[in-house]
Structure 1
Amino acid sequence: MKINLKSGVGELLFGMKEKDVRGVYGNPDRQFKDEDGNIIYLYNDKKLRLTFYQDEDMRLGYIIVSNPSSEIFGSKVIRENWTAIEAAAKTNGLKDFEVESFDTIDNHFNEANWIIFQVEFNEVIKIEIGATINKNDEFDWKFKA
């Protein structure tokens, strides 16, 4: 499952609607609404959490991945050493990370690519990736229906 910066994960593209995602992965294992009215899909076997934004006509806008087979920059990322992943990220143009720490978790956020590497004990445990914003201050949807 390849993480595609600014675009999505695997076959999933930012801007897809629920029906488009179900066409790729079928029905989710669990579905619920968050406090903002967004619809969340959980796919247990894929270890994916997908968020469809209520205020953006229910388009896929955010993906959380903890699948151990996920890859970025041509290498596996989950359960891998953050120091190695950070070096690969810098080689691939992701140089600026804001770091927030919560107890044993460090979130390494790159705003230009709207990606968070969640790290615990120097090991990547989760990736969060969101749709980016274009120069017109609008979401840059990659899926064209």
Structure 2
Amino acid sequence: MHFAKNFANFATKLKNMKINLKNGIDKLLFGMKQNDVTAIYGKPDRNYKDEDNNVIFAYNALKMRLTFYVEEDLKLGYIVASSPDLELFGTTIINKKITDVKKELAPKGLIKFTQEEFDTFENYFNEENWIIFQTEFDEVVKFEIGAIINQKDEFDWKFGKK
């Protein structure tokens, strides 16, 4: 019974994962530390270091990979996500045609994208919001969002701000 209740609570956390431009995804805010994240989502399924010694948390059920920057006191600075529950401005984006996603985002002011091609993948990067839509076969398969760098060339950490 205890497991079922905990799983139900965890499962509700997975639905409607709202992308908050310039801030993070769902309850994740840029600038959080590892313990802030584990307090919300529990221990990650994988915890490792990348080639730059940044700490990476991977959550299988959330389909998210979180990067904590070693040079920024291990603050959360980058999120890669592929959950079909991801929502931007109330609409899902994963597994949708990139042309449809761009059409839906245009009235919200998201129109400027730099396009890069890699084999069968294409990235659509919006610098103002530091987001990437990664597509394969014209469908969005992955979403990336990074902490914004301000006018002083410093990260604009959102966690702990009033």
State whether TM-score is above 0.5.
yes
Which is helix-richer, 1 or 2? 2
- Aligned Cα root-mean-square deviation (Å): 0.9
Deviation beyond 3 Å, 4+ runs, structure 1: none
- Structure 2 partner of 1:12: 28
Question: When the two structures are aligned, how many residues end up with a matched partner?
Answer: 145
Cα distance in 1 for residues equivalent to 2:21 and 2:151:
17
Unmatched 5+ residue regions in structure 2?
1-16
SS at match of 1:118: strand
SS at match of 1:106: strand
Shift of 1:96: 1.1
| TM score, norm. by length of structure 2 | 0.87
- Structure 2 partner of 1:72: 88
Q: Report the identity percentage.
A: 57
Q: Which residue identity lines up with residue 98 of structure 2 in the other structure?
A: W
SS at match of 1:51: strand
- Structure 2 partner of 1:114: 130
Cα distance in 2 for residues equivalent to 1:89 and 1:110:
12
Please state if 1:99 is matched with 2:115: yes
Shift of 1:121: 1.1
Shift of 1:126: 0.2
- Name the structure, 1 or 2, with higher relative contact order (CA <8 Å, separation 6+): 1
> Which sits farther off after the overlay, 47-56 or 134-143?
134-143
Spell out, residue by residue over 1:33-52, the C-alpha distance to the aligned partner (whole angstroms, 9 max, x if none): 01111000000000000000
Larger Rg computed on CA atoms: 2
- Structure 2 partner of 1:62: 78
Unmatched 5+ residue regions in structure 1?
none
